[in-house]
DNA sequence: TATGAATGAGACTTCATTCAT
DNA sequence: AATGAATGAAGTCTCATTCAT
């Protein structure tokens, strides 16, 4: 169908352009040009420039959530689950560098210019972490003093900041596996019930 | 001196305005208005809008670095040093919410529109963490497998993401002491040489 | 016939939309939507947006002319004829408020953007008035000093301006009969051969 | 002073451009160009395009009101006053053709796109007529049956429609004095207490 | 005939920056 | 040093019109 085709093309183009220039410096005509559509066509699929950003975010985070949840469903051990989450996130960052860059910025920015926007998708995403921690605590694997509400943010922040390295500086010293290993290692050791 | 007075006033105004609106939505006239100077006056102290942001960043991060280094100099134990770093950062975020907000965004954004800008001040700041870790490893307090280059980013990312909560949502569930305690606890446990 | 059915539907929709929004703010898609046809369909019946306006004008004024001429044909007394003209015009305004509104604006506007358009239908309409006056002068009922070319415009302008009241402010102080009576009264007294 | 100078220049340019093209076809850049200022400068003096129109209207009608009231103050006879009003209006139309054109359009249009705008200046202007009629009725010069509220609109409409002739068709058959004479004649005869 | 997705020119408005005072 | 009026480039969004289906 032509419709969803253009929608997808525009989203894909927007991811690249936003990643390259940032939201504010990106021009609608850049996105349109890269998507191979006319400027006006964008407005058949999105209400405005912000709407592209929001839609993009929700759609892509949604896909990531589905994917990671599917993989986690096959696991029982919360330690292994955390490893998977970390690895998958970093993998995603490497495979979809542009997307990662956009999501990172957006997370910090969208609330600046869209006060009303409640980022529920993101909350759903990081709540995956707290769910894992919770489970680990029930199984007496993770210490009960750990507060999942704080730890989930710590873990996400740690991964995200590491990821920022590659995004900015693609040929960094540390590779993905090394990073994933360190992150998992430190947090598992940090939360482990001795 | 009157000159530096205006300089300081402009920086202070810029911090607030950038925090409120974000860099791109902030207008020079907003900053000028809040600083109590004419629009044109800003250009006597700064080359352009970006320059305000960069100057602000360097100046303020510089102050933070000096402050935290001074406190850390009085400590020997790397564990205690890490606790101090974490606590001090979170404290700064709470006391200077606007500044924290700007620094957070800027960190993710500045490279987007100023490819050439090398954020040396920020690097200096997070290198404080790796120095602590290094020291801890030498003293056989932290495990040797920990890579300070990765861990420094993890720790900074973790703190920063927790801080983002208050900035967005000032009356959050977790208070500063609780957060600082959790962060220190998990990372110390995670890096501790058993 | 289906064709003329759509044509009529579009005209009817255009009358309403133009009345509500004015010509320039009215969108083709508004008209299409209200007419229950696709945007593109409009261009099977009209050359462009202006053409709708012109066609509408000619068609509707044409109908009004036919109607008023038919009624006037049954009258001999030019005084009575003038009364009928006035009454009929005001009646039309009240019964077809949207149409009246469009005709009023269009009269003042169409020449602005279509310099070439010669509004012959309108001229035909107000010439009904001058014909009446002429007749009255021949019958020594109206004074010979009255210049039908000026008086016709005065009378039309007077009625039209009174009508504007209802269009803007439907629940005005004066009702249609009162207004018609006053207009007829003043003009007849003003033109009457003592 | 530079300020009011530009303000006046912009208004003057707007009058011409609106008269030539109509409000909607007029571009800000047309007005700016004719006023000899930059596009942006317009927004130092007006909030938006509509605001130019409204300001223009209020300012110019205001001037006309002041002028006509001053002349009427010197008269006692309401018949003479009406003559003066009519003559002055038509004179204004001829001397300031562009302005007249704009005022005419605006009167019919502004309510179309600015529902909230209450045209108080215009009301003040035509109330001059009703005041004259009232006075004439008190002096037993005009018939008591005349309703000033209707008659004022009739008279204004009549003048205005006659004026439209010149605006559209500058070399018309009837000149200003002839028109003024006819209008005064018919209305005075129509309202005269025999 | 009819559709409606797509086009792309065009306009309003903003705002960083300049410069005469 | 300071001002703030003026500039004008630039970008988002609208919408009349087209055309493949």
* pLDDT tens-place string over residues B123-157: 999 999 999 999 999 999 999 999 999 999 999 99
pLDDT (0 to 100) of residue A158: 97
pLDDT band at D1 (very low <50, low <70, confident <90, very high): very low
Question: In the CATH hierarchy, which top-level class contains the domain B54-191?
Answer: mainly alpha
pLDDT (0 to 100) of residue B113: 55
pLDDT under 70: residue ranges of chain C: 1-3, 110-116
Lookup: nucleotide whose C1' is closest to C49 CA? F16
At residue A104, does pLDDT exceed 90? no
Mean pLDDT (chain B, rounded):
91
Lookup: nucleotide whose C1' is closest to B28 CA? E16
Q: Which residues lie near nucleic chain E, judged by CB under 7 A?
A: A 2-3, 6, 37-41, 43-44; B 25-29, 39-40, 43, 48-49; C 2-3, 6, 37-41, 43-44; D 26-29, 39-40, 42-43, 48-49
pLDDT (0 to 100) of residue B52: 95
The answer for residues whose C-beta is within 8 angstroms of residue C190's C-beta and 6 or more apart is: D185, D186, D187, D188, D189, D190, D191
CATH topology of domain A57-191: Tetracycline Repressor; domain 2 (1.10.357)
The mean per-residue pLDDT over the stretch D160-166 comes to 89
Percent of the residues in chain A that have a pLDDT greater than 90, as a whole number? 79
At residue D83, does pLDDT exceed 90? yes
Is B117's Cβ below 8 Å from some Cβ in A? no
Through-space separation of residue C40 CA and nucleotide E5 C1' in angstroms: 11
Q: Which nucleotides of F are covered by protein (CB under 7 A)?
A: 1-20
Percent of the residues in chain C that have a pLDDT greater than 90, as a whole number? 80
Percent of the residues in chain A that have a pLDDT greater than 70, as a whole number? 94
- C-alpha pair distances (Å), A168 with each of A20, A90, B111, C6, C30: 11, 14, 8, 60, 49
At residue D169, does pLDDT exceed 90? no
At residue D98, does pLDDT exceed 90? yes
d(C-alpha A27, C-alpha B109), whole Å: 17
Lookup: nucleotide whose C1' is closest to D50 CA? E12
Which residues on chain B are in Cβ contact (under 8 Å) with A133?
A: none
- Alpha carbon of C145: minimum distance to chain D alpha carbons (Å): 9
Smallest Cα–C1' distance to nucleotide E7: which residue has it? A38
Burial label, C160 (beta-carbon count in 10 A; 0-12, 13-18, 19+): buried
Do B and D touch, 3+ Cβ pairs within 8 Å? The answer is no
pLDDT (0 to 100) of residue C3: 52
pLDDT band at B194 (very low <50, low <70, confident <90, very high): confident
pLDDT (0 to 100) of residue B147: 96
The mean per-residue pLDDT over the stretch D53-72 comes to 95
At residue D110, does pLDDT exceed 80? no
pLDDT (0 to 100) of residue C75: 96
Binning chain D into helix, strand and coil, the percentages to the nearest 5 are 80, 0, 20
pLDDT (0 to 100) of residue A2: 46
| Residue of A25, A105, A160 lying closest to B157 (CB–CB) | A160
pLDDT band at D2 (very low <50, low <70, confident <90, very high): very low
Question: In the CATH hierarchy, which top-level class contains the domain C56-191?
Answer: mainly alpha
Which residues on chain B are in Cβ contact (under 8 Å) with A147?
A: 174, 178, 182
Q: Would you call A182 and B154 a contact, using CB atoms and an 8 Å cutoff?
A: yes
| Residue of D111, D146, D182 lying closest to C147 (CB–CB) | D182
At residue D187, does pLDDT exceed 80? yes
Which residues on chain D are in Cβ contact (under 8 Å) with C182?
A: 146-147, 150-151, 154
Domain with CATH 1.10.10.60 in chain D: 1-46
At residue D113, does pLDDT exceed 90? no
Q: Would you call C186 and D182 a contact, using CB atoms and an 8 Å cutoff?
A: no
Residue range B151-180, pLDDT digits in tens: 999 999 999 999 988 887 777 778 899 999
Which residues on chain A are in Cβ contact (under 8 Å) with B105?
A: 108-109, 112
Through-space separation of residue B127 CA and nucleotide F8 C1' in angstroms: 46
Lookup: nucleotide whose C1' is closest to A52 CA? F12
d(C-alpha D151, C-alpha D148), whole Å: 5
- Alpha carbon of B116: minimum distance to chain A alpha carbons (Å): 12
Domain with CATH 1.10.357.10 in chain B: 54-191
pLDDT (0 to 100) of residue A113: 61
Mean pLDDT (chain D, rounded):
92
Neighbours of chain B (3+ CB pairs under 8 A): A
DSSP chain B: -HHHHHHHHHHHHHHHHHHHH-TTT--HHHHHHHHTS-HHHHHHH-SSHHHHHHHHHHHHHHHHHHHHHHHHHT---HHHHHHHHHHHHHHHHHHTHHHHHHHHHHHHHHHHH-TT---HHHHHHHHHHHHHHHHHHHTTSB-TT--HHHHHHHHHHHHHHHHHHHHH-SS-SS-HHHHHHHHHHHHHHHHB--
Q: Would you call A113 and B189 a contact, using CB atoms and an 8 Å cutoff?
A: no
Domain with CATH 1.10.357.10 in chain C: 56-191
Q: Which residue has the higher pLDDT, B105 or B74?
A: B74
Is D169's Cβ below 8 Å from some Cβ in C? no
Which residues in D145-175 are b (16+ Cβ under 10 Å) and which e?
Answer: ebbbbbbbbbbbbbbbbbbbbbbeeeeeebe
pLDDT (0 to 100) of residue A194: 82
pLDDT (0 to 100) of residue D71: 97
Domain with CATH 1.10.357.10 in chain A: 57-191
Which residues on chain A are in Cβ contact (under 8 Å) with B108?
A: 104-105, 108-109, 164
Residue range A130-187, pLDDT digits in tens: 999 999 999 999 999 999 999 999 999 999 999 988 887 777 778 899 999 999 999 9
Burial label, C2 (beta-carbon count in 10 A; 0-12, 13-18, 19+): exposed
pLDDT (0 to 100) of residue D150: 96
Category of D140 on φ-ψ map: left (φ > 0), alpha (ψ -120 to 50) or beta: left
pLDDT (0 to 100) of residue B2: 47
Asked if residues A149 and B181 have their Cβ atoms less than 8 Å apart, the reply is no
The mean per-residue pLDDT over the stretch A48-56 comes to 94
Give me the CATH code for the D1-46 domain, please: 1.10.10.60
The mean per-residue pLDDT over the stretch A29-55 comes to 96
pLDDT (0 to 100) of residue B1: 45
Lookup: nucleotide whose C1' is closest to B42 CA? F2
Q: Would you call D149 and C174 a contact, using CB atoms and an 8 Å cutoff?
A: yes
Smallest Cα–C1' distance to nucleotide F10: which residue has it? A27
Mean pLDDT (chain C, rounded):
91
Closest residue in chain D to residue C23, using alpha carbons only? D112
The mean per-residue pLDDT over the stretch D32-41 comes to 97
pLDDT (0 to 100) of residue C153: 96
Mean pLDDT (chain A, rounded):
92
Asked if residues C8 and C49 have their Cβ atoms less than 8 Å apart, the reply is no
pLDDT band at A96 (very low <50, low <70, confident <90, very high): very high
């Amino acid at each position: 169908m032509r419709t969803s085709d253009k929608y997808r093309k525009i989203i894909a183009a927007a991811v690249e352009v936003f990643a390259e220039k940032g939201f504010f410096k990106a021009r609608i005509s850049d996105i349109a040009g890269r998507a191979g559509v006319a400027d006006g066509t964008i407005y058949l699929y999105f209400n405005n420039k912000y709407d592209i950003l929001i839609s993009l975010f929700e759609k892509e985070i949604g896909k990531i959530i589905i994917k990671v949840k599917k993989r986690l469903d096959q696991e029982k051990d919360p330690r292994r689950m955390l490893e998977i989450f970390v690895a998958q996130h970093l993998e995603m960052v490497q495979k979809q560098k542009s997307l990662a860059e956009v999501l990172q910025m957006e997370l910090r920015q969208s609330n600046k210019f869209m006060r009303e926007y409640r980022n529920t998708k993101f909350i759903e995403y990081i709540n995956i972490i707290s769910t894992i921690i919770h489970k680990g605590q029930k199984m007496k694997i993770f210490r009960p003093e750990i507060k999942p509400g704080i730890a989930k943010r710590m873990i996400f922040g740690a991964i995200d900041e590491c990821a920022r390295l590659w995004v900015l500086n693609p040929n960094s010293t540390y590779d993905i596996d090394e990073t994933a290993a360190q992150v998992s290692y430190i947090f598992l050791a940090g939360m482990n019930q001795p």
